[in-house]
Amino acid sequence: MSAQPGHAPVPPYAPAPGAPAELLARLRADRRADSWVPAFERDWTAALEASRRTFSPGGLHEVVQDWQGRLAHAPAVDAFAASGYDDSETIDMAELRGRRR
């Protein structure tokens, strides 16, 4: 009987070494750059500090994955917002809290 697993484990996602710089360049070129670039830089800095403490690049990989996802889904979000979806019947939580007082 072998102690080896019957399947190969899936390695964790690791972006290419240049992925963060490429991602930052794409964020800077996006129309949301004014808000997205500082947010990415905050996330990256926090993950870098955590990585230094833990000796693990996992947090850095997560930041890259998260922001790649945001960029990938931005066109769909834009299309939804431009579709004219009527959200006038949504609940205004501030108004709801005001009624309870």
Mean pLDDT of 17-33: 95
Q: Under 8 Å CB-to-CB from 37, ≥6 apart: which residues?
A: 24, 27, 28
Q: What is the pLDDT of residues 39-98, one digit of tens each?
A: 999 999 999 999 999 999 999 999 999 999 999 999 998 898 888 877 677 777 777 677
CA nearest 62: which of 81, 43, 80? 43
Residue 11 has pLDDT above 80, yes or no: no
The alpha helices in 1-101, defined as continuous H runs, are 19-29, 33-54, 58-82, 93-100
pTM of the complete model? 0.70
> What integer pLDDT is reported at residue 12 of this predicted model?
66
- How many angstroms from the chain centroid is the CA of residue 82? 22
Q: What amino acid occupies position 78?
A: D
- The full length of the chain comes to 101
Residue 2 has pLDDT above 60, yes or no: no
